Amino acid sequence: MRNDIIYTRTENLERMIRSKKIIPYQIRPNDKYIKGKWYYNFEFGEIFKVLEVEYIHGVVLDHVCTKSLDNHYSYLCTDLSTEDYQIAFDSNEIYKQNIFEEKRTYTGAEIRYWFFMNNIHGFDKKYSVFWDYVDTFSKRRLKDTSRYIIKSKMENGIYTEAKIIKIPEKNKECTKKDKNYIKFMKDLKDQNMKSMMEIKKP
């Protein structure tokens, strides 16, 4: 069975995710090509790296020079579509990791990729509490580029509680002294301490 509800665009994309171990980040309106980044083009069903890109007045695409995985070079004049994806290669084998350990952070795209690669479906009772976070059509779907910490509770081999916490995004003006960042880290520490206390209870 295919978990269509995670990636709905095309079977070709799903095959590439599995065979090439790529993590797709969906293109948003007005996104631009970035030199040095890899992309999946929905129309051609191909993966390529941007070697050179030029926008007229920073708005209208003039051209983009690309290199495919097979080292074929192309010259394109078609800009990105919301059906395309920027991709990252899973060099750390995220799909093999235990993402529920609460020790690492993952992007929304990485979490969705983990569920897909491990063939977990919406009707899988063990993981059902997570499904609103990865379902393509859910209002609670994780944002691809944001980073999260996963907190969960399991009973009798089934996850009964799930909380995926978004980590505040730090920009140039945001430092470790930022009040929101300090509050987030304090709350996270308090939650971890509470979890440890519950585990130690007889």
Q: Which of 117, 100, 106 is nearest to 22 (CA)?
A: 117
Q: Give the pLDDT band of residue 169 (cuts 50, 70, 90).
A: confident
Domain ranges of the chain: 28-83, 169-202
Minimum mean pLDDT range among 13-27, 107-121, 123-137: 123-137
> pLDDT band at 21, cuts 50/70/90?
very high
Q: Which residue has the higher pLDDT, 23 or 169?
A: 23
For residue 3, is pLDDT > 60? no
Asked whether 40 and 109 are in contact (CB, 8 A), the reply is: no
Distance CA 162, CA 54 (A): 44
How far is Cα 71 from Cα 47, in angstroms, rounded to an integer?
11
Band the pLDDT of 106: cuts 50, 70, 90: very high
Whole-number Å distance between alpha carbons of 102 and 118: 19
Average pLDDT for residues 172-176, to the nearest whole number? Answer: 49
Cα–Cα distance, 176 to 76 (Å, whole number): 42
Give the residue-averaged pLDDT of 162-167: 91
Please report where in the chains the tokens 């051609």 appear, as a residue: 44
Beta strand segments in the chain, E: 22-26, 38-41, 46-56, 60-68, 73-76, 85-89, 106-107, 147-155, 158-166
Ranges 9-23, 36-50, 67-81: which has the least confidence: 9-23
Give me the DSSP letters along 87-119: EEE-TT-GGGS-TTSSSS-EEHHHHHHHHHHTT
Q: Which residues contact 161 (CB under 8 A, 6 or more apart)?
A: 129, 152, 153
pTM of the model: 0.80
Mean pLDDT of 73-88: 93
Residue 137: the pLDDT is: 82
pLDDT(199) > 60? no
Helices (H), 5-91: 11-20
Across 145-160, average pLDDT? 93
Bigger pLDDT: 62 or 182? 62
The structure tokens listed for 48 are: 């390529």
Backbone φ and ψ of 176, nearest 5°: -70, -10
The CA distances from residue 19 to 13, 90, 136, in Å, are: 10, 11, 22
DSSP assignment, residue 128?
A: G
